[in-house]
Amino acid sequence: MIRKYALYLGALVLALSLSIASAACGGGDDEGGGEGTGTVSVLSLWGGGEQEAFQEVLAAFTEETGIRTQYESARDFLPVIRSRLAAGNPPMVAIIPRPGIVQDLANEGSLISLEDLGVDVDAVNGNYSEAWTSLTEVDGTTYGIVAKANSKSVIWYRPDDSAVRPVETWDELTALTQELQQAGGQAPWSLGAQDSWTLTDWFENIYARTAGAERYEQLFGGELDFTDQTVKDALTMMTDLLNGQTVQGGIDGALGTAFVDGIGKVFSANPTAHLYMEGGFVGGIALADVNPNLEPGETIDFFPFPTIVEAHGNPLVGGGDITAAFVNNEDVARLIEYLASPEAGRIWVNSGAIVSPNQAVEDDAYPNDLVRKEAEQVKTAEVFVFDGSDLLPGALGEDWGTLLQNVLREPSSMDSQLESFQQQAEDAFAAG
pLDDT in tens, 253-263: 999 999 999 99
Q: Nearest 5°: CA angle at 349, between 118 and 149?
A: 70
Least confident range of 46-50, 245-249, 274-278, 346-350: 46-50
Confidence of residue 33 (pLDDT cuts 50, 70, 90): low
Does position 295 have pLDDT exceeding 60, yes or no?
Answer: yes
In terms of DSSP H, where are the helices of 20-151?
20-23, 48-65, 77-86, 99-107, 114-117, 121-125, 130-133
Q: What is the DSSP string of 231-275?
A: HHHHHHHHHHHSSTTTBTTHHHHHHT--HHHHHHHHHSSS--EEE
Q: What angle do CA 238, 378, 172 make, to 5 degrees?
A: 35
The domain segmentation of the chain, as residue ranges, is: 2-151+319-386, 154-315+389-431
Question: Residue 34: what pLDDT?
Answer: 62
CATH superfamily assigned to domain 154-315+389-431: Periplasmic binding protein-like II (3.40.190.10)
* 66-89 residue pLDDT tens: 999 999 998 888 899 999 999 999
pLDDT score for 281: 86
Residue that wins the pLDDT comparison between 131 and 312: 312
**Tens digits of per-residue pLDDT, 368-392?**
889 999 988 988 888 889 999 988 8
Per-residue pLDDT, averaged over 40-44, amounts to 96
Question: What is the arithmetic mean of pLDDT over 2-12?
Answer: 39
More confident residue, 396 or 14: 396
Cβ neighbour number for residue 168 with a 10 Å cutoff? 12
pLDDT at 351 over 90: no
Q: Where does the pLDDT of residue 432 fall: very low under 50, low under 70, confident under 90, or very high at 90 and above?
A: low
Q: Which residue has the higher pLDDT, 401 or 52?
A: 401
Q: What pLDDT score was predicted for residue 368?
A: 87
The whole-number average pLDDT for the span 340-362 is 89
The domain 2-151+319-386: what is its CATH number?
3.40.190.10
- Contact partners, residue 116, CB within 8 Å, separation at least 6: 30, 32, 33, 328
Do 154-315+389-431 and 2-151+319-386 fall under one CATH topology? yes
Mean pLDDT of the chain: 89
| Mean pLDDT confidence for 163-174 | 97
Query: Among 4-8, 102-106, 115-119, 120-124, where is mean pLDDT lowest?
Result: 4-8
Q: How far apart are CA 49 and CA 401, in angstroms?
A: 26
